[in-house]
Amino acid sequence: MSEGFRTPPEELQHLLGQIAELKATLREIAGRLSQIEQHVKRAFRLPKSPPSRRTSAHQPRAPLPPPTLSPSDALKLFDELPPLLESHGREGVERRLGGLEIPDLKLIVQELGAPLPSKPSRKALTAAIFGRVNESLLLSRNRNITSPRSAAGDATGSADADGTTKVPQRRPTNG
């Protein structure tokens, strides 16, 4: 067999043999290095593990500045939002909230008891406030779609101009 030319299976075997030799050599080097480290630690009485030097690429975010609103001001501002949503729509509320800084938005979300996002972004905080504004609007409307059971037999159930149904009051029972 000539040394210059090998068949593909022979070349594969030759390369696998070289890889195995290199791995064995690297294992020997790693073992010898470990022995030297242990000797240095014992000789100079160094701690078993070196102090961790965490040099990460990203810097931790600077903490948010304190909010400029007080908790009571935050709730007053929120009380302005549902009527603003009804009169000017979503854009009006977005304009009103757009003038606030992130710490103020975060304070409003905290005061409303809405869940805080893990990374407080303007978009996430605004979405949480919008959720509470919509909830407030829905809860402020008292619209009975179906007639109450006590008024089902009463054909004279009257509706107000805004479409809400008057519910008859229960009579106190003597008992």
Measured between alpha carbons, how far is 14 from 27 in angstroms, rounded to an integer? 20
Distance CA 132, CA 113 (A): 9
Q: Are the C-beta atoms of residues 80 and 108 closer than 8 Å to each other?
A: no
Domain boundaries, given as residue ranges, for the chain: 16-47, 71-140
Count the alpha carbons within 13 Å of 105 in the hemisphere toward its beta carbon.
Answer: 24
Q: What are the pLDDT tens digits along the chain (175 aa)?
A: 456 788 999 999 999 999 999 999 999 999 999 999 888 888 888 766 655 665 556 666 677 788 888 989 988 999 999 998 889 888 988 899 988 998 999 999 999 888 887 788 899 999 999 999 988 888 887 766 676 666 555 555 555 555 565 666 666 666 5
d(CA 10, CA 51): 49
pLDDT of residue 11: 92
Overall size of the chain counted in residues: 175
